[in-house]
Structure 1
């Protein structure tokens, strides 16, 4: 008989994990003895500082859950295999984030990372050698396994009320997929994520110039024009990325789509039901073109966009004086900010609202963990992954936005990362990076190429949209 993870008024604080605080070299890191503040979500969280760099955190664990049993040592000596794309530094950070759980429970989470994950996971699952848990950075890939009945329905042992405590509805909606026979299931739990709907700027130069952060598209366009009149291009844009050239353009279109049409239309667009040739999609591309194709608005002009590497495009913001003022990119772009620039010298604002009725959605990318083998210790690990504690050391080292509710403010490496989490938590609409959900023939094929052709001028808008749409016939 399957036991569901029940929400109960007797839910007790039974999980005590010892995490090592990763000391960041970034400025603004709090000391070990800092008094923690309430989390942005309002959840009551407390942290007790101990000697050295250790910090004890507690997480609410429902009575009777497999996680509770694991924390009591009932599954000591068992092993849970896990396969995913984390390698090198990411693999080290992941292993650090699970160490306290392994020490507490005696469960060995045997993680195997591969740069060829997307290609090899099919071979392993279809060959009868599926890992207990797999980490999918592209939900579209997971959906195929869900459709064929290969993954375990998370809702078969985690109660919906518990999942709603851990995640906002938008996250839970994105985890629901069609199972074998068309029956809906919860295909996994969300772990590490990254926010994409961000516009970065040089904080000091921006203030010195007397500019104010825009809150709407119209305000941003007015500021873009003002900066041009002041003698500078507002935007630095680059879409060159080797064989993946064009993907930054797809991110712009996705963000604009979320701000100019309904979430339902966005979802239909990902499947091809709303074609790229539709006026709704063309309108989004035209909005982008209002900035990209104006020679006074873009550093180097339109012709430079295709040849400028996306990572290099942030650098003109930090010359003295700045050669450009804005760069729209995901949170990971801070890794490309010139050496010597500290966190207090740059900042971001949300890609602004265009049509008020659609608000300011958060577009994200992230990892969803799916379960292939149903055993009690595997359930316990999956339940652990629904807690913010499963990411604590990773959050503290920087570069991760937790999708779970209730992350304490003092875990974040700096204020920018704390605000990213707050932005996602407060967004009324959250959607995954669209190209990662489209068939690969489109999302990693004609969408990249079609946008590159359009931006370079080798294809008209109509030609480019038809080219992109043709990818749906190749899947």
Structure 2
């Protein structure tokens, strides 16, 4: 199974897995049992910072207490840190992988440990749908586990602010365009957008474009695009950029304009919705952003102070299309401490800790105790999607993914250069899919 054959399993399997996960009752068995006192340390490298890092550390705290193993966590959004350490012969014991694309590349290079020899796969199959187990396999080997999932495409808003102005939730893209113009004409910016994320700056814009592509041109074009068959300069992908451009290229549409977009950290960019009066009214970001909202504003109540509607349909032929993503863990060093931690991370007890803190959905079908209606609605949006696709940029080769991030920033800085930006992406595509 080559890298792209592996990734195509996502299209067919993940929706089934989410439906099964949402419908299972909670229970208590773990996938691995209690490891007891071990001692020592285990190094972990992942992309989480801020409140996400806090949630991961809270997740592993019971493991540390039970085993005496110290989890040494390092957070970075620069995937090059992991690849550089692997190339230098100094990988972490475990690493969080932002998507299956990078996982498959590392597995093909022989860098990941086969977890089929580490985990109790019978116990795993009782807790995870067959879909999620297969999603983390390459060439028949279990090289990863999903420890959390996210819904892509929510547009967040402050219900109280909407009500005060008489705004209603848009049902179509045209409705969204009209609402944006109405807010802008009132003298307030409708959108808050933040693209800064260290070495990964630009990725929030890729989510925007992926949502537009699948709603505007459909899942077949979406699949052909991430597979490297549809060129970036194609009419469909160019149209998606231009559609997003009606928002980001208009200084009246986004708080602070292009300079604020590229400089504002993605986790902070939605906070102006909660000032009095609001400085913006809408924010496009994945389901995990709720953790950032409440971290910055602890008094906020889900459903009352923030809620979401899905990015509206653009072409009715593709109504109900949804994108999502998930975070994988892989093991690079086979040590007793690493084995114990990755076993623990698969359990419903571990994953429930993050879910209850907010900002995460679980792939473990025994985790059902979501902390609020927002989280439950996010899970429902995933499970009820008429068409579901995994995050396209996460499925692309790493060089293509990084070029996509940069292209987002280049386009925001100068939308008039779209043709040259797309031509540059075509060149990266030709090289990276060989």
Give TM class, smaller chain.
0.7 to 0.9
> TM-score, normalization: structure 2?
0.75
Distance change in 2, residues 1:102/1:430 (3 Å) = farther
Report the Cα distance in structure 2 between the residues aligned to 1:184 and 1:212, rounded to whole angstroms: 49
Distance change in 2, residues 1:454/1:148 (3 Å) = closer
Pick one of 383, 393, 397 that aligns with 1:435: 393
Report the Cα distance in structure 1 between the residues aligned to 2:25 and 2:173, rounded to whole angstroms: 36
Report the Cα distance in structure 1 between the residues aligned to 2:130 and 2:305, rounded to whole angstroms: 32
Q: Which residue of 1 aligns with 2:25?
A: 44
Q: Which residue of 2 aligns with 1:256?
A: 212
Q: Could you list the runs of 5+ residues in structure 1 that have no partner in the other structure? A: 1-38, 46-57, 178-182
What displacement does 1:391 show? 1.6
Pick one of 26, 45, 56 that aligns with 1:94: 56
Report the Cα distance in structure 2 between the residues aligned to 1:196 and 1:88, rounded to whole angstroms: 20
Q: Would you say the 8 A contact 1:40–1:422 is kept in 2?
A: no
Q: Describe the superposition over 1:24-54 as per-residue Cα deviations: whole angstroms up to 9, x where unpaired.
A: xxxxxxxxxxxxxxx9934333xxxxxxxxx
Distance change in 2, residues 1:44/1:452 (3 Å) = closer
Pick one of 128, 151, 165 that aligns with 1:166: 128
Q: Describe the superposition over 1:323-347 as per-residue Cα deviations: whole angstroms up to 9, x where unpaired.
A: 4321112345453676475123222
Q: Describe the superposition over 1:159-189 as per-residue Cα deviations: whole angstroms up to 9, x where unpaired.
A: 69964862483x4564344xxxxx3544311
Pick one of 447, 454, 457 that aligns with 2:411: 454
Report the Cα distance in structure 1 between the residues aligned to 2:237 and 2:59, rounded to whole angstroms: 41
Report the Cα distance in structure 2 between the residues aligned to 1:462 and 1:296, rounded to whole angstroms: 24
What displacement does 1:124 show? 5.9
* 3-state DSSP of counterpart to 2:179: helix
Distance change in 2, residues 1:379/1:429 (3 Å) = farther
Question: May I ask how many residue pairs the two structures share in their alignment?
Answer: 406
- Within the alignment, does 1:386 sit opposite 2:346 as a pair? yes
- Within the alignment, does 1:209 sit opposite 2:171 as a pair? no
Q: Describe the superposition over 1:260-296 as per-residue Cα deviations: whole angstroms up to 9, x where unpaired.
A: 3444543442343322112221121122123333455
* 3-state DSSP of counterpart to 2:22: coil
Q: Would you say the 8 A contact 1:166–1:386 is kept in 2?
A: no
Q: Which residue of 2 aligns with 1:350?
A: 310
CA-based RMSD of the aligned residues comes to: 4.0
Q: Which residue of 2 aligns with 1:422?
A: 380
Report the Cα distance in structure 2 between the residues aligned to 1:299 and 1:367, rounded to whole angstroms: 30
Q: Describe the superposition over 1:433-470 as per-residue Cα deviations: whole angstroms up to 9, x where unpaired.
A: 433443343322x3233233323336432222112233
* 3-state DSSP of counterpart to 1:349: strand
Counterparts in 2 of 1:168-207, with a 5 A limit? 169=131, 171-172=132-133, 174-177=135-138, 183-207=139-163
- Greater Rg by CA: 1
* 3-state DSSP of counterpart to 1:237: coil
- Within the alignment, does 1:325 sit opposite 2:281 as a pair? yes
> TM-score, normalization: structure 1?
0.69
What displacement does 1:251 show? 1.9
Report the Cα distance in structure 1 between the residues aligned to 2:271 and 2:37, rounded to whole angstroms: 50
What displacement does 1:60 show? 3.9
Distance change in 2, residues 1:230/1:88 (3 Å) = closer
Q: Which residue of 1 aligns with 2:191?
A: 235
Q: Which residue of 1 aligns with 2:106?
A: 145
Report the Cα distance in structure 2 between the residues aligned to 1:121 and 1:291, rounded to whole angstroms: 35
Q: Which residue of 2 aligns with 1:59?
A: 28
Structure with the bigger percentage of helix: 2
What displacement does 1:79 show? 7.4
